[in-house]
Structure 1
Amino acid sequence: MPSATDEVIQRLYSEPPEGFVATRTAAINEARESGDRDTAKRLAALKKPTVAAWVVNLLALRRPELIEELVELSAALREAQRGLDGEQLRELTTQRRQVVAALVGAARRLALEAEPGAKLPLGEVEATLTAALAEPSIAAQVRTGRLIRAATYAGFGEVPRPRLRLVTDEAFDEPDSVEEDEDESAEVVEFPQQSVRERAAAERRRRDFEQKRRELRRELSAAQSAERRADEQLERSEAAERDAEHLVEDLDAELAELERRRTEAQADVARRKQARRSAERETAAARRQVGDVQAALEDLESDEPD
């Protein structure tokens, strides 16, 4: 049975991304108020998912049986590739497209139920599910329901192509040579109908293919490096965001304390002002009394007998 914290995390990744930060902040504050600093720290480390990742998370959390079907198909595809079963591979590839399309449709319905009218990047959702078919590690991430960004995959890899060889009659005439050197029992032959021009064109296509593959590999390496840098930047930005949020919380607490002290100070000023006014009245009364007594004394002294 999932813990209360796991349930909170599941709710975070099930809700639309725009409410993620507010919900996470509320959960962190609740954990802090209850004295559970470990849970608060765990929640603070959670990252906001993209819209595409949220859609995939919805599918994994609410329709896990569909993800299991995807995983089973992925295993079947890899087995067909290893066995070079072309017919089975074609059938599974067709099934793959159908399954991915069905999953994208199911994810779309779940997302629109959660947030009607939302703009959904279904292309990224499809790319993530396709990547999960190709890579077990990506499938494992999808199953958690805690993706933070969409995944991509370049393709399902290359199926090794066997070299075409034609065994000549000479190989059967000299069976002893097979035992001595297997390469001498067969020879690579060119198809006779292939002209020099066709071979040259094929060679150019091969070179073009190799050049394009090298370029794409360089681009892939550069893109992966850029992705790593972007991930690092994102992590730094999210950490800075969390620090800023915590600073705001601390400042809010300080502001509340200052407001309380200000209210108390205003009340003290009012009391002191009242005391001053009372003192002013008493001083005025005392001065009047002094004046009256002085006047009486002067009158008395003026009437003193000689």
Structure 2
Amino acid sequence: MLGIDVVTRRLYEAPPDGFVAARAAAIEDARKAGDRDAAKRLAALKKPTVAAWVVNLVALRRPELIEELVQLATALRAAQRELRGDELRELSTQRRKFVSSLVDAARRLAVEESGAGAAKLPLGDVEATFTAALADPEIAGQVRSGRLIRAVSYAGFGEVPRPRLRLVTDADADADVGPEPEPSAETAAPEPSQPRQTARERAAEERRRREKDLRRRELERDLNTARADERRADGRLEKAEEAEREAGHLVEDLDAELAELERRRTEAVADVARRKLARRTAERDAAAARRRVGDVQAALDELEPP
């Protein structure tokens, strides 16, 4: 049997329409070889979507492109954290060109591997996945593994500085703004027909903007928390599925053992029947022999003189 890593690579390289049958055959080979651990690990592998398979092809066949993606992602995050505007704009342009080249490479590999036309490939999902990998190191790691099972997307890009905010009250706003200055004669003349925004109105507008920003930050934190909860839930689900598979394999093993015991029992019952028949035959032979002995002894007694 081939090594587990080689088998896994072949499963994720091949078009996904044959994944389930190929996985089942690999599991059967592992069981025949007595490698239950390999069979269990193979059973845990999940079928990829078409988009994930296309991304996996790039990771497995052109790993140097994925390494370049990781390097570009690192440079983008560094430029954004340090707010280097010119460099960030240049890297963003490079990012768009690089993602396009990745999608083109993925398209060519998928067409060569499956023979399907490019029009049938979900290249939009493929592009979204590569873009997400540039923004999120965790997604980049999944892409690099070559075992992605579904396409991913990313709502934002890069890391955004998070300023410290506090809720501003009316009193704070009035104190910050101060008394409204009197208009000069030069500025008063052109403004009689245009209502001027008061300091309180400006403060209220600023307060609403800050509250909106604060609410956005809170929702972003909630979203990050929800995503973390989702990842943990997915982890628990995977463990539960693995435990279920292990229990199923145990039942299969016990069923096989029971079948073997039933076969041996049937053979033992047949052997008992044969031995019983042999015993009865021996009993008949012994009885016949005893009768023969009696007959011979009687004949001898008749030959003796009185």
TM tier, smaller: 0.5 to 0.7
CA offsets 1:62-108 (integer angstroms, 9 cap, x no match): 11121122112112112212432111011111211221232123223
Q: What does 1:204-215 correspond to in 2, within 5 Å?
A: 204-215=208-219
Question: Does the 8 A contact of 1:14 with 1:54 survive in 2?
Answer: yes
Q: Which residue of 2 aligns with 1:225?
A: 229
Distance 1:69 1:219 in 2: 29
Question: Does the 8 A contact of 2:43 with 2:245 survive in 1?
Answer: no
Q: Which amino acid aligns with 2:151?
A: A
Q: Which residue of 2 aligns with 1:27?
A: 26
Q: Which amino acid aligns with 2:14?
A: E
Query: 1:87–1:234: structure 2 CA closer, same or farther, 3 Å change rule?
Result: same
Q: What does 1:75-154 correspond to in 2, within 5 Å?
A: 75-115=74-114, 116-117=116-117, 119-154=120-155
Distance 2:258 2:109 in 1: 43
Q: Which residue of 1 aligns with 2:7?
A: 8
Question: Does the 8 A contact of 1:44 with 1:242 survive in 2?
Answer: no
1:20 deviates by 1.6
Query: 1:252–1:110: structure 2 CA closer, same or farther, 3 Å change rule?
Result: farther
Q: Which amino acid aligns with 2:205?
A: A
Distance 2:134 2:10 in 1: 26
Query: 1:15–1:208: structure 2 CA closer, same or farther, 3 Å change rule?
Result: same
Query: 1:225–1:33: structure 2 CA closer, same or farther, 3 Å change rule?
Result: same
Query: 1:101–1:232: structure 2 CA closer, same or farther, 3 Å change rule?
Result: farther
1:122 deviates by 3.5
Distance 2:247 2:253 in 1: 10
Q: Per the alignment, in what secondary structure is the counterpart of residue 126 of structure 1?
A: helix
Q: What does 1:44-59 correspond to in 2, within 5 Å?
A: 44-59=43-58
1:13 deviates by 0.8
Question: Does the 8 A contact of 2:129 with 2:153 survive in 1?
Answer: yes
Q: What does 1:174-193 correspond to in 2, within 5 Å?
A: none
CA offsets 1:103-126 (integer angstroms, 9 cap, x no match): 123223322333315854444333
Q: Which amino acid aligns with 1:214?
A: E
CA offsets 1:167-216 (integer angstroms, 9 cap, x no match): xxxxxxxxxxxxxxxxxxxxx999x9x97344542332221122133234
Distance 1:52 1:235 in 2: 25
Query: 1:236–1:16: structure 2 CA closer, same or farther, 3 Å change rule?
Result: farther
Q: Which residue of 2 aligns with 1:285?
A: none
1:127 deviates by 3.1
Distance 2:233 2:162 in 1: 34
Q: Which amino acid aligns with 2:136?
A: E
1:253 deviates by 11
* RMSD of equivalent CA atoms: 4.0
More moved, 148-157 vs 229-238: 229-238
1:7 deviates by 1.6
Question: Does the 8 A contact of 2:48 with 2:149 survive in 1?
Answer: yes
Q: If the length of structure 1 is used for normalisation, what is the TM-score?
A: 0.61
Structure 2 unaligned residues grouped into runs of 5+ = 165-175, 182-196, 263-306
Aligned residue pairs: how many?
A: 234
Q: Per the alignment, in what secondary structure is the counterpart of residue 26 of structure 1?
A: helix
Sequence identity (%): 54
1:52 deviates by 2.8
Query: 1:223–1:72: structure 2 CA closer, same or farther, 3 Å change rule?
Result: closer
Distance 2:15 2:152 in 1: 19
Distance 1:233 1:75 in 2: 31
Question: Does the 8 A contact of 1:124 with 1:151 survive in 2?
Answer: yes
Q: Which residue of 2 aligns with 1:157?
A: 159
Question: Does the 8 A contact of 2:77 with 2:159 survive in 1?
Answer: no
Query: 1:202–1:154: structure 2 CA closer, same or farther, 3 Å change rule?
Result: same
